[in-house]
Structure 1
Amino acid sequence: MPLPAFDRRRLFAATGGLGAASLLAACSDDADPVQTQPDGKPFSFLDERSGEDVKLPLVPTNVVAFTGLAAALYDYGVEVAAVFGPTTLSDGQPDLQAGRLPVEELTVLGNAWGEFDVEQYAALGPELLVSHYYEGFDLWFVPEDRLEEIESLAPGIGIEVSKPTIDQIIDRHAALAEALGADLNSEENAAAVERFGNAAGSVAAAVAEKPLKVLAVGAWPDGLYIANPPTFNVLAKSTELGVDLVVPDNPDQNNYWELLSWENVDKYDADVIFLDTRTGNLTAEQLLAEQPTWAALPAVEAGQVYGWNAEPVYSHVGGAIELERIAEGLTSGQAL
């Protein structure tokens, strides 16, 4: 999901993501993943960039992945050889996109946009490279000027995350995990699927009990970004479940955000505000201290500001966590 101007504007357009400051600058679940057991069969999986299957004679065991995708695989029981993309914060704590990955144990080829240690990657002897795919970009977080060189070392697979529904995207990640040896019928994975369904049910139940007007935003120094729900899969899912989300009047040309100056942040009424918590966004504490117009919003004065993640970990556990956060905010909030 994109961020402001990469020029940040182009990057924002791809990802919808204000939290992507981690691209420009350098929910936890303690359960261990189910361990996978590749069975020696041939491997085949669709690369959604080209629409063609990537085929290998055996299931690869030396896989390198974009951090967010690796986090989803980990939830299903697949561990990768190395990751690239936002993995740790400056204090060593996991980035939001790392999900439940044991970041202290990971080989990280690059932690920020433009970072990818090709020499270290080659030394790993990779068999497969997997990443997300946004329209207008190639493999997410793989430097375009070295893509050909990188893909000459191992075939790449891109999973489309900008257009499909969150259910479809999660299913694709689960399918990749299964192709790499995960047992989707394990007790842990079955419980994760049930948890996702229950989380969706909790959102629907909260809406039925107490309809509220909801605003999803990201906050940067240049202003407040109003999220356009149809272009963010977790928000689109929430709308499907009945959440009354504000739809901005004038989203940008890529249809992700409407930017409001700090003088005009009261343009839209809302009972509850969900604030993007990805790395790079201003925090609720920073906003209260630095932006009086934000502090004066009714939802802020009422303490009805909650977090959301525009780039969830696309596993059943990851999706459940995001829907649970939304359900919690709706349950706690009151009409104003």
Structure 2
Amino acid sequence: MSNARASHLTRRGVLAAGGALGLGAALAACGDDDAKSGGSAAKEDASAQSGPWTFEDDRGTTVKLDKVPANIVAFTGVAAALFDYGIVVKGVFGPTKTADGKPDVQAGDLDISKVEILGNVWDEFNVEKYAALAPDVLITTMYDKAGTLWYVPEASKDKIAKLAPSVGISVYDRQLTAPLEQVWKLAESLGADVTGAKATDAKKSFETAATRLRAAAKARPEIKVLAGSASDQIFYVSGTNLSVDLEYFKSLGVNFVEPPESAKAEGGGWFESLSWENVDKYPADIIMMDDRAQAIQPDAITKATWKKLAAVKAGQVIPRAAEPILSYEKCAPLLDALAEAIEKAKKVS
């Protein structure tokens, strides 16, 4: 890989990174240039609401429409978060269904048979189908300072932009609570009843889980946690300083393995790439593994060096939602799972 490529991580590379840590890194770094409606949680038809709609996104861009968007198209994970608040989208793009046709982990509780899937993999976005939906707004996340819209292909972004305004939710170099609050506000603006029991109970559960995780981390500071992702040739170790989930967990006191900045340089500051021969470089008591379809899952890893890791032998490997669904309902269990793992972990490193 050239020094120029190493110094500028492409969007494809970010697909592999901490908040988006996974198989895509190998492709980018190595030279691939190329509603459960929630009952009362939402109004039956947001478009029936009167008056104009205004929303300021994380780019500082204010979208203004004559009425509340009815035809919403969103990145799958964002659509799943909105669904938890009772907001139903018309179309999605991004990982939505697996090779066997089942819902992708990022689809959450979406009924994927009831949405138009415009693209299911990186760089796939059917602009003609998008136009046919007569979209009012496109909503997705952002993984850089520039406000690049996640999973909107570079080659067709201008055509897509002309069809509807966009809303970007930043998941770059901030703590999880920030995008959670932004999606909460967005859902409310779209018609969700965020004062109802479903929404408020989910938020309380998140706050309770955060308190539990803080207490667990404080009680067991010796427990070392590593965030990893597996591909056939490379094991990625994520740093915590860019990923919304890891930054937040760290703020609660979780003791993470932290590769030095020099080691993460090739990964754009997100991660360090290790060969499987060196997978034991960082001792850890708990390993959190990327749960997305593009990453090899722990039960499918056959490398002998992996099986020899102390945390693996101790059965202390848990999933990590590297691209968390940004609703309190979906994020509360992530905190509880990590807290439980720390509470129960044996010190093996």
Task: Please indicate, yes or no, whether the TM-score normalized by the shorter chain is above 0.5.
Answer: yes
Residue equivalent to 2:3: none
Post-superposition offset of 1:31? 8.2
Q: C-alpha separation between the residues in 1 aligned to 2:254 and 2:36?
A: 30
Post-superposition offset of 1:8? 8.7
Change (3 A) 1:134 1:209: closer
Residue equivalent to 1:326: 338
Residue equivalent to 1:247: 258
Match of 2:42 among 35, 40, 46: 35
Post-superposition offset of 1:32? 4.0
Match of 2:271 among 257, 266, 291: 257
Q: How does 1:155-166 map to 2 (within 5 A)?
A: 155-166=165-176
Q: C-alpha separation between the residues in 1 aligned to 2:85 and 2:303?
A: 41
Match of 2:282 among 259, 268, 287: 268
Match of 2:160 among 135, 150, 154: 150
Pair 1:133-2:142 in alignment: yes
Is 1:134–1:162's contact at 8 Å kept on the other side of the alignment? yes
Q: C-alpha separation between the residues in 1 aligned to 2:36 and 2:58?
A: 32
Residue equivalent to 2:180: 170
Residue equivalent to 1:114: 123
For the residue of structure 1 that corresponds to 2:92, the secondary structure is strand
Moved more, 96-105 or 29-38: 29-38
Is 1:19–1:277's contact at 8 Å kept on the other side of the alignment? no
Q: How does 1:149-228 map to 2 (within 5 A)?
A: 149-211=159-221, 212-228=223-239
Is 1:308–1:325's contact at 8 Å kept on the other side of the alignment? no
Change (3 A) 1:30 1:47: closer
Unmatched 5+ residue regions in structure 2? Answer: 1-5, 28-34
For the residue of structure 1 that corresponds to 2:230, the secondary structure is strand
Change (3 A) 1:258 1:20: closer
Q: C-alpha separation between the residues in 1 aligned to 2:128 and 2:66?
A: 25
One-letter amino acid of the counterpart of residue 244, structure 1: N
Unmatched 5+ residue regions in structure 1? Answer: none
* Matched-pair identity in %: 39
Q: C-alpha separation between the residues in 2 aligned to 1:54 and 1:132?
A: 16
Residue equivalent to 2:94: 85
Match of 2:85 among 43, 64, 76: 76
Aligned residues: 323
Residue equivalent to 2:109: 100
Moved more, 142-151 or 256-265: 142-151
Post-superposition offset of 1:163? 2.5
Moved more, 131-140 or 254-263: 131-140
One-letter amino acid of the counterpart of residue 275, structure 2: S
